[in-house]
Amino acid sequence: MSTIELTGVSHWYGNVVAVNDVTMTIGPGVTGLLGPNGAGKSTILHMISGFLEPSRGTLTVGGAPSWHNPGIYRTLGLVPERDSVYAVLTGLEFVRATAKLHKLADADGAVGRAIAMVDMAAAADRRISTYSKGMRQRIKVAAALVHDPQVLLLDEPFNGMDPRQRLHMMDLLDKLGAEGRTILFSSHILEEVERLSGTIQVVVAGRLAASGDFRAIRRLMTSRPHVFMVRSSDDRLLGATLIGRPAVTGVELTAKGLQVRASDYGAFCREVAVLSREHGIRLLELLPADESLESVFSYLLAS
């Protein structure tokens, strides 16, 4: 009833392949769809939510194809990424309108429940245009939940939220997942989802690269080595000094400077400054070489 199933799904825009032969099954509970920007997360979510036709492959939600099938929205709720809601309406009017569009028998009851679930009762009578980013996100979730869907899709739900709002949202998603709903959300920031339990699907360059348990990924994240490029007045001396420190696991002299691998980001950054001053070395440049999301994800994939 609430399983999302992708079999060999691809999507391309002209010559550009955005999603390449993705096969996955997403069942009840919370699932994170993670990957760097442009990896194809949104394309996958748009296809699941029926707003993009797969170029190839089959995609079903609860056994029914979602493309060109508005009936799917009886069991599916969507929280789109874009922050555009009917800003002239109040939160309450927006959720109530959604309930009416679903032709719910007890619209008022459903509206009250949905608004309470996202903790927006106090602000429900205010116009959405006066809401903060986090409040807009929550009222969008309320609208997506008003018909009590078995499947809830959220595109970058933590974008622009402050840490408190983020925790609140994570708790809500965990709760909805524990109730047996299928919750799928996308995110490009691994740290954002640290508190969530459940599974993740990692998408890199349009392909499904890995899937697994949040906790395992989190362990890898904290213990992963960091690579820095350092240029200084005396690279050889600096390298010799650095290799003596426990936070440093490797040093290499390259044409562009010193490549340093550190196991502890914070400790290395403190020590490199202290050591270079002690030895009279002038630091010219210190760059984290692999902090791009792509490299983080590719590290995770390799492990």
Rule CB under 8 A: which residues touch another protein? Answer: 11, 13, 16, 18-19, 37-43, 46, 49, 51-53, 68, 70-71, 73-74, 76-78, 80, 82, 84-89, 94, 97-98, 100-103, 140, 143-144
* Least gap, CB of 146 to another protein (angstroms): 10
Asked if 172 and 30 touch (Cβ cutoff 8 Å), the reply is no
Task: List the one residue out of 104, 174, 161 whose CA is nearest residue 135.
Answer: 161
DSSP code string of 249-302: EEEEEETTEEEEEES-HHHHHHHHHHHHHHTTPPEEEEEESS-SHHHHHHHHHH
- DSSP symbols for 145-182: HTT--SEEEESSTTTT--HHHHHHHHHHHHHHHHTT-E
- Which residues partner with 11 through β-bridges? 19
Question: How many angstroms from the chain centroid is the CA of residue 302?
Answer: 20
Q: Give the shortest CB-42-to-another protein separation in angstroms.
A: 5
| CA angle (84 as vertex; 187, 164 as ends), nearest 5 | 50
| Rounded least distance, CB 148 to another protein, Å | 14
Q: Which residue's CB is nearer to another protein, number 94 or number 228?
A: 94
Q: Residue 55 has which token pair?
A: 């170029």
Nearest distance, CB of residue 28 and another protein, angstroms: 21
Q: Give Cα separations from 162 to 59, 79, 134, 135, 256 (angstroms).
A: 34, 18, 7, 11, 39
Kindly state the smallest distance separating residue 6's Cβ from another protein, in Å: 15
d(CA 198, CA 159): 20
Parallel, antiparallel, or unpaired: how do β-strands 283-288 and 226-232 relate?
antiparallel
Shortest reach from residue 261's CB to another protein, in Å? 32
Nearer to another protein, 135 or 275 (CB): 135
Q: How far is the CB of 292 from another protein (least distance, A)?
A: 16
In whole angstroms, how close is the CB of 290 to another protein at the nearest point?
Answer: 22
Q: Which is nearer to another protein, 140 or 166 (CB)?
A: 140
- Cα–Cα distance measured from residue 303 to residue 287, given in angstroms and rounded to the nearest whole number: 24
Packing angle between helix 107-117 and helix 133-145, nearest 10 degrees?
Answer: 140
Of 73 and 268, CB closest to another protein: 73
